Amino acid sequence: MSAEPEIVTRTEQPYVAIRARVAMAELGSMGARLGDVFGWLAARGLAPAGPPFFRYNLVDMARELEVEAGVPVAVPAAGDGQVIAGTLPSGRYATLLHVGQPSGLLDATAALLAWAARQGLKWDVLPGEDGERWGSRLEIYLTDPDQEPDMSKWLTQLAFRLAD
């Protein structure tokens, strides 16, 4: 189940993340990377400034995805060899709230993409030989699995940046 899509304006947001290239079948392994990022923050005495997310930089569903498992921070932080630091860009984003298991996110993504096409909206994305390079394509995990173990109640916000 998902809510109706909407357009929101997001401000710039610093974050830290672990980036990896994975096949679609390996995407689930990125969840463990979020724990690594939280551990990295804790070791440095830094607090998260919002819910964790996956940022899809490069999307080629048939071959490979470049994904960042990230956590927002209040102020920019310096990364290291494993953890990178970045900034999510400000701008207009098309969003959709998905309620339910992560397995439903493919359908939710398809619904958001189809809705935007019907609205005549253009994404912040560039096609390339290695796939689509997105300016900011996010899955934001609003539910803490430790607090809510029932996956049918999990909330995930999709937020894809629109072209200016």
Residue identified by tokens 């298991």 is 101
17 touches 70 (CB < 8 A): yes
The whole-number pLDDT of residue 27 equals 83
Residue identified by tokens 């899955």 is 139
Which H/E stretch holds residue 6? strand 6-10
> Which segments in the chain show pLDDT lower than 70?
1-2
- Boundaries of every domain in the chain: 6-161
Q: Under CATH, which number does the domain 6-161 receive?
A: 3.20.80.10
Q: Which amino acid is located at 151 in the chain?
A: M
Distance CA 61, CA 24 (A): 6
The whole-number pLDDT of residue 3 equals 72
Distance CA 139, CA 68 (A): 10
